[in-house]
Amino acid sequence: MINTAFQVFRLVPAAGSLFQEQEVFFMEEMREMTDLVTLHKGDIVKGRVTKIEDGQVFVDVGYKFDGVIPIGELAALRVENPSEVVQVGDEVEVRVQRINDEEGKLVLSKKAVDAEKAWERLQGLFESQEPFEVKVADVVKGGLVADVGVRAFIPASLVERHFVEDFSGYKGRTLRVKVVELDRSDNKVILSQKAVLEEEYQKKKEEVLRSLQPGDVITGTVQRLTSFGAFVDVGGVDGLVHISELAWHRVEHPSEVVKEGDEVRVKVLKVDPERERLSLSIKEATPGPWEGVSERYHPGDIVKGIVRRLVSFGAFVELEPGVEGLVHISQIANRRIGTPQEVLEPGQEVRVKILDVNEAEQRISLSIREAEGERNRREVDRYTERQTSSGSGVTLGEMFGDLFKNHR
């Protein structure tokens, strides 16, 4: 009896100790269950990425098991690898798409939360027309695609101010854009970089036009050529150099003088801020062809020229681009003529003698007749020298009598 009682006495404390251990374990389990969040479909919660595996992202949102974000619920645009969007340890905000406690499934969506926030932000940007930056995710037919929380499209016509033939180099580039069209019901977002560029160009143009004055000589870059002239960029603003202002000589097409990309000095001729027009001159920014002409041509010089125009009183002969002299009708030939056309034609090369140079009045008097006479006299002189050295008995009168009849 004594031994039995003793055994019972020993068992009771042992049973009490086991009960206490179970009670502690139960209390800890209850505490952990109390800390777990309660979730419902549609709830938006924050969590931390714990694992990326098999095209899925596992997220601890404080529930009794981790939730899963399928790759299609990560971003507005298609992604090949979840790591392009999130990394292990990242904090993410997600929406509960589906819960199944029996199967231990919790499906989450990051895309849905991003889209909700994006529409609110885009609505504000659309109303304010404030520029913002986007990164081009893809190049598709007709334009560019960007991820702004939802899929956004930039039509080809709204990418640049100028025409772009190939957009392949735009993928990955960051552009500054504005929201120009927004329709949530149709999930439509249209962006424009061109709108931002046009606004910046307009502001810069106004500043440049205010700063320029007629007579200013500045440097610009030839942007494009037309049949009537060349457009030159000066400080971000295009000004027109009319074909008549490209050079001092006659120009048939601007390509004869400049090409796209050339850096040129231009003189401001006219500024019209109201009509936003800028008239420029390359010709006026360079020394005139008549500058220093008296140093290049002297009375008595014999030079070559091209007949450019025939008039009733004579012919205008071009000595160099922009410099023409007049051969009076009386100085064209050794005989009397009724019109210059009897002897000359436009484009004909002639030898002329400089009679007079007036740089101040931009006039040069020329003579074809005297140039020919000079040549004939030189021929006589050369022949005389040869005859003297050879001892010939033929007289000059016999050899050149007819030649000098017209000079008497």
Residues 280 and 330 in one domain: no
Residues 73 and 144 in one domain: no
Q: Tell whether 31 is covered by a domain.
A: no
Q: Which residues are CB-contacts of 249 (< 8 A; sequence separation ≥ 6)?
A: 289, 321, 322
Q: Tell whether 28 is covered by a domain.
A: no
Q: Are 221 and 265 in contact (CB under 8 A)?
A: no
Beta partners for residue 44, in sequence order: 95
Give the CA distances from residue 99 to residues 54, 106, 114, in Å, rounded to whole numbers and listed in that order. 20, 5, 21
Residues 244 and 310 in one domain: no
The pLDDT value recorded for residue 79 is 86
Q: Tell whether 245 is covered by a domain.
A: yes
The pLDDT value recorded for residue 235 is 86
Residues 169 and 105 in one domain: no
CATH code for the domain of 341 = 2.40.50.140
Q: Are 149 and 118 in contact (CB under 8 A)?
A: yes
The pLDDT value recorded for residue 54 is 86
Residues 227 and 173 in one domain: no
Pairing of strands 105-109, 44-53: unpaired
Residues 225 and 280 in one domain: yes
Q: Tell whether 352 is covered by a domain.
A: yes
How many domains does one find in the chain?
A: 4
Q: Which structural domain, as residue segments, surrounds residue 89?
A: 45-110
The pLDDT value recorded for residue 10 is 41
Residues 140 and 174 in one domain: yes
Distance CA 315, CA 344 (A): 8
Distance CA 351, CA 362 (A): 20
Tokens standing for residue 20: 């206490």
Tokens standing for residue 399: 């050899």
Residue carrying structure tokens 């939360």: 113
The pLDDT value recorded for residue 284 is 92
H/E stretch holding 105 reads strand 105-109
Residues 140 and 190 in one domain: yes
H/E stretch holding 198 reads helix 194-211
Q: Tell whether 392 is covered by a domain.
A: no
The whole-number mean pLDDT for each consecutive block of 10 residues of the chain, a chain of 408 residues, reads 40 49 51 66 94 93 94 89 92 94 92 93 96 96 94 96 93 97 95 96 88 94 96 92 92 95 96 90 91 94 96 96 94 94 95 95 95 77 67 54 50
The pLDDT value recorded for residue 36 is 67
For 127-139, b/e burial (b = at least 16 CB within 10 A) is eeeebeebebbeb
Q: Tell whether 104 is covered by a domain.
A: yes
Which residue among 235, 253, 285 closes a domain? 285
Q: Tell whether 347 is covered by a domain.
A: yes
| Residue 194 φ/ψ, nearest 5 degrees | -60, -35
Residues 191 and 258 in one domain: no
Q: Tell whether 5 is covered by a domain.
A: no
